[in-house]
């Protein structure tokens, strides 16, 4: 599917990998609806990117909040004539914590619940509400394609480390929902691809200690560095443009396989 002339929805689009994806969409002639919890950053990002980007405040843990963002986006799409083309639900949080602390006390379920609420329920709810509109756009091209959903998993879906029970569970869920969602949406001409990045340069990564960062990089084969957001965005671009990509979880990780701990 072509990016040009279409509107893509990016949650978490105010920062990191989501922001790089928004830039890529603009560079390729598409419009971007940036949905983010951080209203200041979201507004500033949309203003910096230019008229192809519009910010819609949204907390993906709230069905009503998503509904308002959907309404705003659909009205903008009508105004511009650039039909919906896809959804990239990139909003995510990590919130580490071991299931038992050093004294043998189990972690508080509220942390686990929040990670699942943002990274799993938030993804499903956003995709679900936008799909109602995406499934109705006129099919295009010889394949009758309507759109693409690019989910954001993580290499933690497969080898999450100590302290990543919640994050690993949430990203494992993204990997696990990729194929059934693909099968559900085939009849509508909507594809689903998941991308599973290793550590990429972003504010999320900047929060890690130097020791952890160094340890993580030691597990990368080549090139021994963090991924760059533009490299993530390039894979989103390819996932949108290559119609034979469907139902797969694609790792982008420089050959990295994470050990249990650093
Ligand atoms: N950066 C990495 O190393 C890396 C690696 C693997 C996977 N990922 C995944 O990529 C995605 C983007 O990560 P990033 O590194 O760019 O993170 P980031 O922290 O830079 O950006 C995340 C964005 O999500 C927004 N957000 C958080 N909670 C929200 C909510 N409830 N509703 C709406 N927006 C919310 C934040 O405001 C922020 O703008 C996440 O799903 C993350 O798990 C990142």
Distance 16 CA to ligand 1 centre (A): 7
- What would the two tokens of residue 116 be? 């699942």
Distance separating alpha carbons of residues 110 and 239, to the nearest angstrom: 35
Residue nearest to atom 23 of ligand 1 (CA): 12
Residue nearest to atom 38 of ligand 1 (CA): 12
Can you give the residue ranges of every domain in the chain?
7-251
Contact assessment for residue 157 and residue 196, using Cβ atoms and an 8 Å cutoff: yes
**Residue keyed to tokens 């960062």:** 213
Q: Which residues lie with the beta carbon below 6 Å from any ligand 1 atom?
A: 11-12, 14-18, 36-38, 58-61, 90-93, 118, 122, 152, 154, 197, 199-200, 202-205
3-state DSSP call for residue 257? coil
Q: What's the number of CA atoms in the CB half-sphere (13 Å) around residue 141?
A: 13
Please report, in tens digits, the pLDDT of each residue of the chain (262 residues total).
Answer: 999 999 999 999 999 999 999 999 999 999 999 999 999 999 999 999 999 999 999 999 999 999 999 999 999 999 999 999 999 999 999 999 999 999 999 999 999 999 999 999 999 999 999 999 999 999 999 999 999 999 999 999 999 999 999 999 999 999 999 999 999 999 999 999 999 999 999 887 777 788 878 888 889 999 999 999 999 999 999 999 999 999 999 999 999 998 877 7
Distance 13 CA to ligand 1 centre (A): 8
What dotted CATH number matches 7-251? 3.40.50.720
């Amino acid at each position: 599917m072509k990016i040009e002339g279409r509107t893509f929805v990016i949650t978490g689009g105010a920062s990191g990998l989501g922001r790089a994806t928004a830039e890529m969409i603009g560079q390729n002639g598409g419009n971007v609806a940036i949905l983010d919890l951080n209203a200041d950053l979201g507004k500033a990002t949309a203003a910096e990117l230019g008229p192809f980007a519009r910010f819609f405040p949204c907390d993906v843990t709230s069905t009503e909040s998503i509904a308002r963002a959907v309404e705003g986006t659909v009205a903008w799409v009508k105004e511009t004539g650039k039909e919906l083309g896809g959804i990239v639900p990139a909003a995510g949080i990590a919130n580490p914590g071991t299931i038992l602390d050093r004294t043998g006390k189990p972690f508080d379920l509220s942390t686990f619940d929040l990670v699942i609420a943002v990274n799993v329920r938030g993804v499903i709810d956003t995709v679900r509400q936008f799909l109602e509109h995406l499934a109705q756009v006129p099919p295009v091209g010889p394949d009758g394609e309507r759109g693409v959903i690019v989910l954001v998993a993580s290499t933690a879906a497969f080898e999450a480390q100590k302290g990543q029970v919640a994050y690993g569970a949430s990203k494992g869920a993204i990997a696990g929902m990729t194929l059934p969602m693909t099968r559900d949406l085939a009849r509508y001409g909507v594809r689903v691809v998941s991308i599973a990045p290793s550590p990429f340069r972003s504010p999320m990564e900047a929060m890690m200690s130097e020791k952890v960062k160094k340890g993580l990089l030691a597990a990368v084969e080549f090139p021994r560095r963090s991924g760059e957001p533009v490299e993530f965005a390039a894979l989103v671009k390819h996932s949108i443009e290559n119609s034979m990509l469907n139902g797969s979880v694609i790792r982008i990780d420089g050959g990295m396989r994470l050990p249990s701990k650093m």
